[in-house]
Amino acid sequence: MPAIDLAAAGALHARVGPSARAAEVLRLLGRLEFVGTHWLRALIFPDCHRVTAWRALEMLHAQRLVWRAGVAPDKLPGAMRWPRGQALPDRPHIYGLTPAGRDWLAAQGAEPDPRVLETFVVRDHAKPEVKTAQLAHDLLVVDWCASAIDHARRCPLVTGIRCRLEYVSLIDERGQAYQRFDALVVLTFDAGRDERQAQPGWRIPWDDQVRRDAGTVRAVRLAIELDRGTEKLATLMAKAITYAQLTGIGHYTATLGGPALPVVIAPPGRRGPQIAHEWRDGWPGGAGVISSFTHARHPQHGALWGRYYTLTDAPARQVDLLAETGLTLGDWTQLTAAWQPGLPGTQQL
């Protein structure tokens, strides 16, 4: 990570002002690399008018804290479900973090652990150089993670959320990535938590520390693997073998605090059963769940409560991603019913 220009960051702070909401935008972008306008509004501005959110993003872009790029509608997840006969909205945009935005976060002390800033991907304000060939895949990953974050933060038992795209689990002796998840999502639950400290509902309880299960605290560690049907099936079997090897030697317990559950999201149709066949060969009796693009999202409770099936059982069993917490969908519905997007006096940016 380049040295932080404190003088420049201080000047930026003087112009931007002390904005908790602005900091949350930058912290989100640092973790997800880039986020579409619709998810920024849903995650950080759920209690605000869309014009208010737009003005905030315009300000951050004008101050060069974020970059912005237009996206063709057909690259967006769910674009094919746009109602026929209706005109598409204005060309959507994605936003990401710039080096100046990362410096601003550092100067404000917005991250409890400054080392987290070193993991943030930043791009140039004027020429962010987004890889268009990979964009459709990456936006599907972001879409899943954003949905999981949005609904996890509504549960009062969730005390921490960790998310990192392109998470390198292990580096080999040549310095190359031996294993890379499309995304790592870790949710920390505390069943002994009776009440939540009063805070705006739009806040995300980020926690990048490695948490081990202890007492009433339990972490759910999800390794997201998104498949668009372009990889060779043998590659999927190789991934299963790697998960089996690293699980067997306790790698995930050492690095993540406990086992990681592979979550494969694939196109609907034949692809899912084909992947499951390869996975059973690569990791007989091992862990892992799969869902399709169409079934990985619950209509009310998002990606965490989609329809998932075991990868190595024949026939496959339907399971919940949060099964190890003991929570049911009914429990979740009750726990999140009282969530409010904001608190009085929190709309000011």
CATH of the domain at 3: 1.10.10.10
Query: Does residue 336 carry a pLDDT above 60?
Result: yes
Q: Are 221 and 257 in contact (CB under 8 A)?
A: yes
What local confidence, expressed as pLDDT, does residue 12 receive? 39
Q: Same structural domain for residues 178 and 265?
A: yes
Q: Report residue 50's pLDDT band, with 50, 70 and 90 as the boundaries.
A: confident
Higher local confidence (pLDDT), 347 or 28: 28
Q: Same structural domain for residues 108 and 152?
A: no
Place of tokens 């990401």: 96
Long-range contacts of 117-121, Cβ-Cβ distance < 8 Å, separation of 24 or more: 117/1, 117/30, 118/1, 119/30, 119/164, 120/30, 120/31, 121/30, 121/33, 121/96, 121/97, 121/165, 121/166
Query: Does residue 305 carry a pLDDT above 90?
Result: yes
What local confidence, expressed as pLDDT, does residue 6 receive? 35
Written as six digits, the tokens of 34 are 């880039």
Which of 130, 154, 169 delimits the end of a domain? 130
Query: Does residue 197 carry a pLDDT above 70?
Result: no
pTM: 0.89
d(CA 222, CA 242): 16
Which of 130, 155, 183 delimits the end of a domain? 130
Q: Report residue 231's pLDDT band, with 50, 70 and 90 as the boundaries.
A: confident
Q: Are 60 and 101 in contact (CB under 8 A)?
A: yes
Q: Same structural domain for residues 300 and 345?
A: yes
Q: Are 276 and 334 in contact (CB under 8 A)?
A: no
What local confidence, expressed as pLDDT, does residue 133 receive? 83
Q: Report residue 55's pLDDT band, with 50, 70 and 90 as the boundaries.
A: very high
d(CA 321, CA 305): 7
Which of 130, 151, 170 delimits the end of a domain? 130
Q: Same structural domain for residues 182 and 305?
A: yes
Q: State mean pLDDT over 122-133.
A: 91
Among 70-74, 100-104, 169-173, 341-345, the minimum mean pLDDT is found in 341-345
- How many Cα neighbours within 13 Å face the side chain of 279? 24
What are 170-186's pLDDT values in tens digits? 999 999 999 999 999 99
Parent domain of 82:
1-130
Written as six digits, the tokens of 88 are 């598409």
Among 190-194, 242-246, 264-268, 275-279, the minimum mean pLDDT is found in 190-194
d(CA 338, CA 317): 32
Q: pLDDT > 70: what percent of the chain?
A: 87
Print burial letters for 316-341: b (CB count within 10 Å at least 16), e (below 16). Answer: beeebbbebbebeeeebeeebeeeee
Higher local confidence (pLDDT), 72 or 112: 112
Q: Same structural domain for residues 66 and 174?
A: no
What local confidence, expressed as pLDDT, does residue 1 receive? 37
Q: Same structural domain for residues 119 and 206?
A: no
Q: Same structural domain for residues 18 and 164?
A: no
Highest mean pLDDT among 78-87, 196-205, 311-320: 311-320
Q: Same structural domain for residues 52 and 199?
A: no
Rounded to 5 degrees, φ, ψ at 58 are -60, -40
What local confidence, expressed as pLDDT, does residue 72 receive? 79
Query: Does residue 344 carry a pLDDT above 50?
Result: no
Q: Same structural domain for residues 7 and 31?
A: yes
Q: Which of 145, 95, 92 is nearest to 122 (CA)?
A: 95
Query: Does residue 309 carry a pLDDT above 60?
Result: yes
Q: Are 121 and 101 in contact (CB under 8 A)?
A: no
What local confidence, expressed as pLDDT, does residue 191 receive? 84
Q: Same structural domain for residues 342 and 247?
A: yes
Average pLDDT of the chain to the nearest whole number: 87
Beta strands in the chain (DSSP E): 34-36, 66-70, 93-97, 158-171, 177-190, 217-226, 261-266, 289-292, 308-310, 318-319
Q: Same structural domain for residues 139 and 105?
A: no
Q: Same structural domain for residues 226 and 84?
A: no
Domain count, the chain: 2
Q: State mean pLDDT over 257-267.
A: 96
Query: Does residue 90 carry a pLDDT above 70?
Result: no
